[in-house]
Structure 1
């Protein structure tokens, strides 16, 4: 998936424009102060498309921030805010180290996107390798779990086993952390059981002769017993690249808290996995998968959406608080899925859900709905999207850990607002047994 156009995009990124609000946050000032900078000639501005508001050049804003020393953005009352150079989410677009994330994920393999996120360098053809000792420990531990365990259960156990097999895991130097990450991710993939195919075990995706992306190819037989054609593997690899990071999502915040306490990278990943399993985060695509399956079985979205509304449940796969329109990750995956004939029924079902729900409330598709289209059309289980999310986001958690290791330790120590009984209280009476 690497090409020269993609490489040029990394060395000469498209000039990024910021809104007034984003500029104020980056400078750590109020919006009124931004316009004061413009009036003094310290910032230049352009009218936004449609004539509503102004936009500002990100490089010029960063240069002003360096001159003024205003490096810490102000946070809304009651909100947590930390400086990060990894991901910027703008108006219906997002960027990895200043580069359009959707273009990066479509043009480069997951491993290459991960390296860009970790180091700011593009390494075409980079591959990750699972060390034998860690892989044996992870497979043994995962193999001892009950059959009913889900993929996230297996991944959590695999991380612990891989950590136990690495006596140098407490080395938090940059090179040691990067080396551990490059071995941990393929270890997690290899530790997952292979999905049965035609009553037997599958050895992986069919070889199309075009050498599909390495990690995506390894992960494919862990998700489905069907053979993986080149187009389907490209969707999986792009999904892995798109999901690597999305600013300070709940699991990423947990990972950064762990890193702030100087937990080793395996423990950081464990912290992220613990939060990811919630139905409002990594597991959300499974709910969308089940919904799309029901839409296909019932021949339309109307009765399914009606059932959700009648019971007070939100329709899964719709809406995102950071985007006013369609999630750019969903848009990128939908474009690739539209080129795969077997994805047409699930894709039509997803569009039916969006248009049907729009009669009640104007919500757009998010990445969970796109993952559901992919998993349903590829014969995967409902939890497949969660597996893709977890494997992908591991690289993002490591990127944030690397950043957090360079900050003051234990800086994420909020104070509780005590609401219990006022002291002094008498000692409690023993409860009779």
Structure 2
């Protein structure tokens, strides 16, 4: 398509079109949407906007009401950034010093009142769909389980999730449909597929998912119609779940669904900027999440808390960490001045679970003991550690919960990034190597001055 030339007066062709509806030039539409003109045409190609040719065919015009409706749906009202500036406009998550919001709604309140799938739908669409359940397609689930089951026994849950995402992608011929409807269909299939590909807790290492039973995550509580939390529970622990324990897990999943531009989310947006399909976007996020300073941070907190419970107190464990020069895990967050609001919600729920009392007491002692040395507050990793220690989950359980949950956020950010100018994240490197031109290098093992092989 031909982009509009600069019609500085704001062309309206209502009379020419024989309608009273005002129409906008491409430039005007881009300004209202807060995007570049190229993105306006991307909206047209995806069916999100309709356009009409101007008389003479020098550009296109757009219905003003339709543009405004799209702006409301995407939350894109700010003007485009100056040329060369990389700005991530997002209508998903806002973080303040002591709380955070999903599309303007307090995220902790959402998580207290709605399950993970409902919160994911809110993040994706801005619509609340009570009782929604995600279901994995049979072919996707089968491919993911077989792939994950074929991995070495020592593979971590994140290893299996990455493999499952790749397998699920290969089984979905519509994965390259980047329309909002197509991306949502992929997301609703992928998340339960990831959970279904994980082995049952207590099953032989390297076992195949749920042992070949049909459906996504079938088991003691994870049958048809079960929440994602119920499906995930039996992958984390062999202990039976009651209503209170499932509420804690479901709330944790909802709380962790997004947290603005964390490292893994930035990686997901970089992948989306290339128009990689949603499965590849999630794979990019999973790769970064496995770093010990990001999603894997809950493992050290679990091991510390488990040791504190076994030793009957946290003080000697904290002392061992400080004596060795190690930071005490589960404490502090660069975005919150006080206690991580996600941890506060989970602690409140765990306080009502009798079997969580030993781990909760140890967690509180970790905070108070460390406070004598440095004033740090509990973060969500410590809360996840209380959950995993209480129910006999492995040390990597918190990472698994984090990975499954954050998939929703990665998808939401991908949907935003698909509407931006493609490949916009291309920083320039500051070269610090030898100044060219340099001579050709001498091959290893060849004396200097003799040159290479004569052939």
TM exceeding 0.5 = yes
Displacement of 1:206 in angstroms is 5.0
Aligned mate of 1:204, from 219, 229, 238: 219
- Where in structure 2 are the equivalents of 1:369-388 lying within 5 Å? 369-388=382-401
Aligned mate of 1:98, from 97, 104, 117: 104
1:179 aligns with 2:185: yes
When Rg is computed on C-alpha atoms for both structures, the one with the higher figure is 2
Aligned residue in 1 for 2:145: 139
Q: Deviations over 1:365-398 (max 9, x none)?
A: 0000000000000110000010000000011100
- Matched residues in 2 for 1:149 and 1:168: separation? 29
Aligned residue in 2 for 1:320: 333
Contact 1:259 1:404 (C-alpha < 8 Å) held by counterparts: yes
- Matched residues in 2 for 1:229 and 1:275: separation? 33
1:362 aligns with 2:342: no
Contact 2:116 2:251 (C-alpha < 8 Å) held by counterparts: yes
Aligned residue in 2 for 1:82: 88
Aligned residue in 2 for 1:401: 414
| Superposition TM-score, scaled by structure 2 size | 0.76
- Matched residues in 2 for 1:120 and 1:73: separation? 28
Matched residue pairs, number?
A: 363
| SS at 2:316 equivalent | helix
1:332 aligns with 2:338: no
Compared CA separation, residues 252 and 192, structure 1 to 2 (3 A): same
- Matched residues in 1 for 2:154 and 2:369: separation? 35
Aligned mate of 2:259, from 209, 233, 246: 246
Compared CA separation, residues 264 and 422, structure 1 to 2 (3 A): same
Contact 2:133 2:226 (C-alpha < 8 Å) held by counterparts: no
Displacement of 1:204 in angstroms is 3.5
Aligned residue in 2 for 1:431: 444
Compared CA separation, residues 310 and 131, structure 1 to 2 (3 A): same
Where does structure 1 differ by over 3 angstroms across 4 or more consecutive aligned residues? 68-75, 200-207
1:195 aligns with 2:179: no
Compared CA separation, residues 232 and 80, structure 1 to 2 (3 A): farther
- Bigger shift: residues 355-364 or 80-89: 80-89
Displacement of 1:146 in angstroms is 1.4
Q: Deviations over 1:54-109 (max 9, x none)?
A: xxxxxxxx99xx9x96564999xxx9741111000012100000000000011001
Compared CA separation, residues 352 and 204, structure 1 to 2 (3 A): farther
- Where in structure 2 are the equivalents of 1:9-408 lying within 5 Å? 72=81, 81-196=87-202, 204-205=219-220, 214-408=227-421
- Matched residues in 2 for 1:135 and 1:213: separation? 16
| SS at 1:414 equivalent | coil
| SS at 1:417 equivalent | coil
Any gaps of 5 or more consecutive residues in structure 1? 1-61
1:416 aligns with 2:421: no
Contact 2:86 2:425 (C-alpha < 8 Å) held by counterparts: no
| Superposition TM-score, scaled by structure 1 size | 0.80
Contact 1:87 1:95 (C-alpha < 8 Å) held by counterparts: yes
| SS at 1:196 equivalent | coil
- Matched residues in 1 for 2:83 and 2:100: separation? 21
Give the root-mean-square deviation of aligned CA atoms: 2.6
Displacement of 1:214 in angstroms is 0.8
Contact 1:197 1:225 (C-alpha < 8 Å) held by counterparts: no
| SS at 1:95 equivalent | strand
Aligned residue in 2 for 1:11: none
- Matched residues in 1 for 2:109 and 2:192: separation? 24
- Matched residues in 1 for 2:377 and 2:170: separation? 43
Compared CA separation, residues 252 and 428, structure 1 to 2 (3 A): same
Q: Deviations over 1:181-235 (max 9, x none)?
A: 001100111111001289x98963459xxx9961101110000000000000000
Q: Deviations over 1:270-326 (max 9, x none)?
A: 000000001111111111000001111222212211111122211110000000000
Compared CA separation, residues 119 and 276, structure 1 to 2 (3 A): same
